[in-house]
Structure 1
Amino acid sequence: MIQEEASAKRTPKTIESAADLVIVGGGLSGTCAAITAARAGVKVTLIQDRPVLGGNCSSEVRLWILGATSHMGNNNRWAREGGVIDEIMLENIYRNPDGNPLIFDTVLLEKVIQEPNITLLLNTAVFDLDKKTESRNAGDEIAAVHAFCSQNSTKYKVSAPLFCDASGDGIVGFLAGAAFRMGAESMEEFGEKFAPDKAYGELLGHSMYFYSKDVGRPVKFIPPSYALQDITEIPRYKTFNPKDFGCRLWWLEFGGRMDTVHDTEKIKWELWKVVYGAWNYIKNSGEFPESENMTLEWVGTIPGKRESRRFEGDYMLKQQDIVEQKTFSDTAAFGGWSLDLHPADGVYSDQSGCNQWHSKGVYSIPYRCFYSRNITNLFIAGRIISATHVAFASTRVMATSAVGGQAVGIAAALAKKYGCTPREVGQQYLEEYQLELWRSGQYLPQTVISDHEDLVQKASGISASSQLELTGLPGSEHWAPIVHSVAQMLPVNGGMPDMKVRADVLENTTLEVELRKSSKAFNHTPDVTIETKSLVLSPGKQEIQLDWDASFDEECYAFVCFLKNEKVKIQYSEKRVTGILTVFNATNPAVSNYGKQEPTEDLGVDTFEFWCPQRRPEGRNLAFQLSEPLAAFGTNNLRNGLHRPIAAPNAWVANFDDDAPSVTIHWNEEVSINQIELVFDTDSDHPMENVIYVHPETIMPFCVTELAVKDGQGIVVAKITGNHQTRRTISLENPVSTRSLTVNILHTNRDVPASLFEIRCY
């Protein structure tokens, strides 16, 4: 029994603790930062003001995670984000291919609680902080944060030498006095031609979604009194239909004319009015008889936020950096979502719900965007990083935020190691920082990484049971008319081999075929036409011969483009190969892809065509034969430092008929190996949306699932079974001394040859 005498005032229970790094905000950026830092030996306290992790991708909001892949609707090939977010997405698709948002909650939570270096505080909101008063940075350094948990009525005071604000609204940066911006910069300040005017609005609003389901019997709906009574007040009301649910309703947006921090509750109520008014219209207007058996299954209780504060770092990313794909010496992350602005009036606007402009490829984000310029021990992550309003329109999406979180996590580990500030990490330890990022799976565009500790770099050679020399892909029973122009992407360097394809011509016609490449070898936008052929064809099945005169003076992808002609069917193959794709000049209105991007005025963005792949089980390669083999799949790719196809496949690939594929690394003298790192092909072209979409596989068809590692004596020193991840680390119980190491792969898929991107040994 507890009995206390009456008192004038009591204070809540208070727990004080210390960490190496305090991260405020358990959305995707904060979660990835915490996991990354914890794995690097940093003691992390992760403070999240909601009952679940994930923020906008949690079951409380249910927005799909997207980034550079853009629903496979742009020209960013093999662009899915790497590292921790890749691990999370692959685990989710393995367990949850149907996109259940509740299951995704468990995936995120499990990843965090599996890390012993993370202390997780859920339902805990930061409301105050202390600044250091005695230090070289007195007044500009955070000492501790104060938070309160509503569920256990407990206050927390957590101190640390380093802090990360990943809270979305920037509560820590705001309280600490970090320089920030809110709203849109003028076109003149940074020379950004896409900068919006005040009529369009300076802020993106919040959104709220709903789920519905068919229960098999009539269901009536009586709207609450606060529901919007006349849905025709919404200019886009005619676009409502009973089949849309969840984040396909992203355009149910409001609040861009308000204070998107302090007016959030008001914005939420307006969105509730719209949601219940929309459902009343669907159920009771008589316009949708198919909704008779449908009921509301779920409505969001907190809105998904897009924009509020943006904090100033030592560099502010701008529109030109994204469009021109600027190279930075301190690249720490990358993005690839479109410049995606929304009218501030949201659902009440008579304009399109979004205004998206894509770049020709992915872009780099410098490390200087991930820490405060005036609070010396504060990292910033997520949608609040140092970017202009226009650049933020791209960097704000969650997968991009996630790799930013990983960039912070590695930086925090080095700041701890050297006892330095976030700024000093980039100034004094940049080479080590980028190496550790790369080792953690981070893709750093146009950045050369050297890993001098990797024993594979010192090997005398690498041999294999076979290596693919691609002479063609056999035909299948699948023939399809060229409804949309289609291109076979082929990795080339030197002369372009001649090519044969099989076609079924339905009537006399002329087929146009173009050989193209990208103006930048690391891009996959076929914006340079090298040769054009006009082929006069008669009806019937026939072989089409394409003789090319072109030669390529660098590694790049050639696009053999068969232009739209529905009078011609072309034969496809069931064979798939790492680094080989077909792409289509089709449309994807969901990401403002209408086949070609054509700015109507000088907005500072490029005009170009979209050539995008199809999702499996579609997305087959063409059946073709080449006059000379493509030798782009050799063992040297295993140590070229590239984890994905870029200008070339960058993978070792075995022959199709190799029943026992293996790779052997040779050294001239004995080496001692403690750890082996392997990088597999998990199809980084697949966006793996975590909700709404139903995915056809739980393991990517290119991924090696089982292997054994043997030393020079043929003794098995390690095994991997049941793999579905991109990166696997084998830590050996005892060091292995050997002059060779062999990776034997158990491979049974006759349609997809075995492949590996990388082997590293330490």
Structure 2
Amino acid sequence: MLEPTMSGSDCWWFELGGRQDTIGEDGNTALELRRLVLGVWDYIKNSGRFEADCYTLSWIGSIPGKRESRRMVTDYLLRGEDVLRGSNFEDGAFYGGWYLDVHPAGGMLDADAPNFVQTPVPVYPIPLRCLYNSQVENLLFAGRCIGTEREAFFSTRVMDTCALSGQAAAMLAAACAMWHTVPGQMTKAQVAQLRQQLLREDLFVPGLQADESANLAHEAKLTVTSVHDGRAGAPTGTMSLEEGGFVTFPGVDGTVLLSVTLHTPQTLCGTLYSAPLPNYLCPGKKIREYCWKLPAGHHKLPIQAQAGRFCTLVLEAAPDAELPLCQPLRTGFVCGKKEMPVCGEPMLEYETPESLYGAEQLVNGYIRPWGGANQWCAAPQDPEPCITMQWPQARELEQLRLYLDPELCAERPSSHAAQWQDSHKLTLYREMPAQLARDMIVEISLDGSSWEPVWEQKDNRKRLITVVLPKEQKVQALRIRFTRTWGPRPVGVFALHVV
């Protein structure tokens, strides 16, 4: 249905070809699509419903964008149930997370069918076996033609997942060339080694921990100048619960206190879920239900969290109820509501202060949030946060890798989303992520007392930093000084790796 309130970005459902041979009949399909689009334009221009007297049609694409034409038969075909369950694979190499996004086969000609049906899914791994077929030894696939059954394809077809498949396929090809083998003949040990290399190159694989045996940071005394204490920041406003909402936070053993404000007495109800990664549309395993009968006023609601998981409390609609919000300073804390384009940080704290962001997170084997924030975060008041590693004996070091925080826990839409309806938006990037390290200096000490700068970066925009260290020098200590972030948040670092 075309409505006057729609913008051009709402017309993505101008589709055709699901019941046609989109390879053999490509030209005819393109012409028919153009005819249909011009018919829609005629309706917009002449129906009198759209105030379009002064509108001009400036452009129509000449090549239709194919959602589906070829899918290859590979050693494993990803299934819809794999996507819905987040199935684990021994050769999981990259990930997806888009809905099972089903469009009517007839496109615009299926007038009575909904434009789409979207089933939320968790973040799920995709195996290497979806990238090759052992019968054709040296042929790899990436993008929309990887090996999936049609139901799984509804999720894997999106560009972010296609890009990740390209990185995995490229590294698979490089590994096979180095080992003089082909994908279908790799040993289990080679597959495991390749997965570790994918992690080192910052390709997140759900649930996979890095092998830290070669990380020299484990042999060093690791210290930081400060640690964020996990407490909420200053109050910034409120979020209405008139239509309900959700609150997500890292789980711990103990009680979490959620601040709420009620303007009238009422019963506030919610359901608590847990999952390795937060996802309010697919919140995970149900833990318990809550109903608090409360008078008007400010309250701190006790919630029994679950350690080693992210917890999501889905709150039912509550008129005259609000969630107090705070300055966003903590990774893994987020709240919002259905069809809300902007998420906030809830005024939520642990009954007993928790070390969520200690230095130990830098070497716990996770390079991204999974079951927890997995991040060292400096205290907000620290003017120049610093990580220092000191070895018992001087070591020859080759390389330092830093895995920084570009706010990956917040979903971001296209930069061209200004014309979208609010229900299609999430928070737009209008500036660099506030907690991303902008300026930093790496220094070494040969004797453990005096420091020599060996690398400096200003206006950093990367999330993976690779520093080549001076050769043929035995280093007693190494430190990273963060002199500025891109905003008012303290610097966050997921992992560091030294070889």
Task: State the TM-score, normalized to the length of structure 1.
Answer: 0.60
Is the CA contact (8 Å cut-off) linking 2:436 and 2:486 kept in structure 1? no
Aligned to 1:481: 240
Runs of 4+ in 1 over 6 A off after TM superposition: none
Partners of 2:260 and 2:278 lie apart in 1 by 29
1:429-448 paired onto structure 2 within 5 Å:
429-448=190-209
Q: Is the 8 A contact 1:661 1:747 kept in 2?
A: no
My pick for the range that moved more, 625-634 or 373-382, is 625-634
Instruction: Please state if 1:283 is matched with 2:45.
Output: yes
| Equivalent in the alignment of 1:544 | 299
Partner of 1:254: 16
Q: Deviation of residue 279 (structure 1)?
A: 1.2
Q: Matched residues in 2 for 1:579 and 1:754: separation?
A: 14
Tell me the equivalent position of 1:470. 230
Q: Residue 98 of structure 2: which of 310, 315, 337 is its match?
A: 337
Letter in 1 for 2:176: A
CA distance in 1, matches of 2:260, 2:117: 41
Q: Which amino acid aligns with 1:676?
A: L
Aligned to 1:752: 489
Q: Radius of gyration: which is bigger?
A: 1
After the TM superposition, which residues 104-183 of structure 1 pair with which residues of structure 2 at under 5 Å, given as runs? none
SS at match of 1:299: coil
Q: Tell me the distance in 2 between the aligned counterparts of 1:293 and 1:630.
A: 61
Q: Are 1:516 and 2:277 an aligned pair?
A: no
Give 2:168's match in structure 1, choosing from 402, 407, 414.
407
Residue 571 of structure 1 is aligned with which of 321, 324, 335?
324
- Aligned residue in 1 for 2:250: 491
Once the two structures are superposed, residues 340-374 of structure 1 have per-residue CA deviations (whole angstroms, 9 ceiling, x without a partner) of 22222111102112232222x11111111101232
In the alignment, the residues of structure 1 paired with residue 243 and residue 392 of structure 2 have an alpha-carbon distance, to the nearest angstrom, of 54
The answer to whether structure 1 residue 558 and structure 2 residue 311 are counterparts is yes
- Residues 263-315 of structure 1: CA deviation (Å, up to 9, x unaligned): 111110011111112112111222211x2222223211100001112111111
Query: Where does the alignment leave 5 or more consecutive residues of structure 2 unmatched?
Result: 419-427
What is aligned with 1:692? 416
Answering whether residue 442 of structure 2 is matched by residue 709 of structure 1, we say yes
What amino acid sits opposite 1:579 in the alignment? G
Does residue 365 (structure 1) correspond to residue 126 (structure 2)? The answer is yes
Q: 1:699 to 1:720 in 2, by over 3 A?
A: same
1:637 aligns with 2:365: no
SS of 2:451 mapped into structure 1: coil
Alpha-carbon distance in 2 for matches of 1:684, 1:343: 32
Q: Does the 8 Å contact 2:254/2:305 carry over to 1?
A: yes
Matches of residues 573-612 of structure 1 in structure 2 within 5 Å? 573-584=326-337, 586-587=338-339
Shift, 1:721, TM fit: 1.0
User: How has the CA–CA distance of structure 1 residues 573 and 753 changed in structure 2, closer, same or farther, with 3 Å as cutoff?
Assistant: same
- Structure 1 residue 259: deviation in Å? 0.8
**Alpha-carbon deviation of 1:642?**
1.6
CA contact (8 A) 2:232 2:329 kept: no
- The answer as to 2:113 corresponding to 1:380 is no
Q: C-alpha distance in 2, partners of 1:447/1:749?
A: 30
CA contact (8 A) 2:246 2:312 kept: yes
1:297 to 58, 62, 72: 58
Whole-Å Cα distance in 2 between the matches of residues 543 and 727 of structure 1? 43
The answer to whether the Cα contact below 8 Å between 1:663 and 1:742 also exists between their aligned partners in 2 is yes
8 Å Cα contact 2:435-2:487 kept in structure 1: no
Measured in 1, the distance between the counterparts of 2:349 and 2:415 equals 40
Give runs of aligned pairs for residues 4-403 of structure 1, distance below 5 A. 236=1, 239-241=2-4, 243-246=6-9, 248-289=10-51, 291-350=52-111, 351-359=113-121, 361-403=122-164
Confirm or deny: 8 A CA contact 1:577 1:702 kept in the other structure.
no
CA contact (8 A) 1:471 1:625 kept: yes
Within 1, Cα distance between the matches of 2:310 and 2:414?
30
Q: Is the 8 A contact 1:261 1:308 kept in 2?
A: yes
Q: Distance in 2 between matches of 1:348 and 1:515?
A: 41
State the distance in 2 between where 1:670 and 1:578 align. 35
Deviation track 1:575-631 (CA, whole Å, cap 9, x = no partner) reads 3322221243x14xxxxxxxxxxxxxxxxxxxxxxxxxx55xx42212345431121
Residue pairs, 1:666-685, within 5 angstroms: 666-685=390-409
Residues 653-672 of structure 1 mapped to structure 2, 5 A cutoff: 653-672=377-396
Equivalent residues of 1:435, 1:451 under 8 A apart = no
SS in 1 for 2:397: strand
SS of match in other structure, 2:58: strand
> 1:697/1:465 Cα in 2 relative to 1: closer, same or farther (>3 Å)?
same
Counting matched residue pairs gives 482
Distance (whole Å) between structure 1 residues aligned to residue 57 and residue 286 of structure 2: 50
The answer for the alignment partner of 1:418 in structure 2 is 179
Q: 1:318 to 1:301 in 2, by over 3 A?
A: same
Amino acid at match of 1:730: V
For residue 547 of structure 1, report the CA deviation from its aligned partner. 3.6
Q: 3-state SS of the aligned residue for 2:88?
A: coil
Alpha-carbon distance change, 565 to 690 in structure 1, aligned in 2, over 3 angstroms: closer
- Structure 2 CA distance for aligned equivalents of residues 748 and 318 of structure 1: 42
* TM-score, normalised relative to structure 2: 0.90
Structure 1: segments with no counterpart, 5+ residues: 1-235, 588-613
- SS at 1:708 equivalent: strand
CA drift at 1:444: 1.0
Name the amino acid aligned to 1:709.
V
User: By how many angstroms is 1:562 displaced?
Assistant: 4.5
The amino acid across from 1:581 in the alignment is: V
Matched position secondary structure for 2:417: coil
Counterpart Cα distance in 2 of 1:742 and 1:560: 40
Aligned equivalents of 1:399, 1:374: Cα separation in 2 = 28
Deviations 1:120-171 (A, max 9, x none): xxxxxxxxxxxxxxxxxxxxxxxxxxxxxxxxxxxxxxxxxxxxxxxxxxxx
